Amino acid sequence: MSIYNYLAKKSNGDIVSMQTYKGQTMLIVNTANKCDFTYQFEDLQRIYEKYNNKGFTVLGFPSNQFANQNPEDGAETARACRTSYGVQFPMYDVIDVNGETTHPLYNYLKHEVEPRPVDTSNIQEVILTNKVKEIYPDYLIGNNIRWNFTKFLVDAQGQVIKRFEPCDSILEIENAIEELIAANQ
């Protein structure tokens, strides 16, 4: 199996094969438009604009599984992201990223790259982990998505290279993207 074996519904209702992105480096992100991490939309858009002409894209997959932080449907979510954060990268319909109804693409992504251990030196991550322990303790088990704005870096051959947690530095993520794009040229 590869990422190219999966389909996903865009926010406008179109069904898209991940084959559409064959040959591109991708950053796949589970998002929410009412999350404390929504500021990351601006960083994601900036990175998308900076590298899009070099065979890179960001794919946003809203999820409402974390404290009801994305209760709108995919179309309303995409509209809100465009209006509030200038998002122009592809936005997909609202999906589940954990549990029995996990979208097949996310089931694949989660099992290709394990999450890193919690960074106890990062106070923001410690606070988030304590919140997750309190309300969604199962999300800290195995390869589950811990919270909104978990990111998966996929190379131009469709291989999942790295998983970034919500509190990871955007500079670290951008450096990994630059290295992967350079390796593909």
Question: Considering 35, 95, 128, 167, which one is annotated as catalytic?
Answer: 35
- Mean of per-residue pLDDT scores for the chain: 94
92: number of Cβ within 10 Å: 24
Q: What is the pLDDT of residue 54?
A: 95
Over the stretch 2-44, which tens digit does the pLDDT of each residue have? Answer: 899 999 999 999 999 999 999 999 999 999 998 988 899 999 9
DSSP symbols for the chain = --GGG-EEEBTTS-EEEGGGGTTSEEEEEEE-TTSTTTTHHHHHHHHHHHHGGGTEEEEEEE--TTTT---S-HHHHHHHHHHHH---S-BB---B-SSTTB-HHHHHHHHHSPPPPP-TT-HHHHHHHHHHHHH-GGGGSTT---STT-EEEE-TTS-EEEEE-TTS-HHHHHHHHHHHHHHH-
Residue 81 annotated as catalytic: no
Domain architecture of the chain: domains with CATH:
3-180 (3.40.30.10)
Q: pLDDT tens, 87-98? A: 999 999 999 999
According to the model, what pLDDT value does residue 147 have? 94
Task: Give residue-wise pLDDT tens across range 100-129.
Answer: 999 999 999 999 999 999 999 999 999 999
pLDDT score, position 55: 94
Q: pTM, whole model, 2 decimals?
A: 0.95
Q: Tell the burial category of 51 from Cβ atoms under 10 Å away from its Cβ (0-12, 13-18, 19+).
A: buried
Find the mean pLDDT for residues 48-63. 97
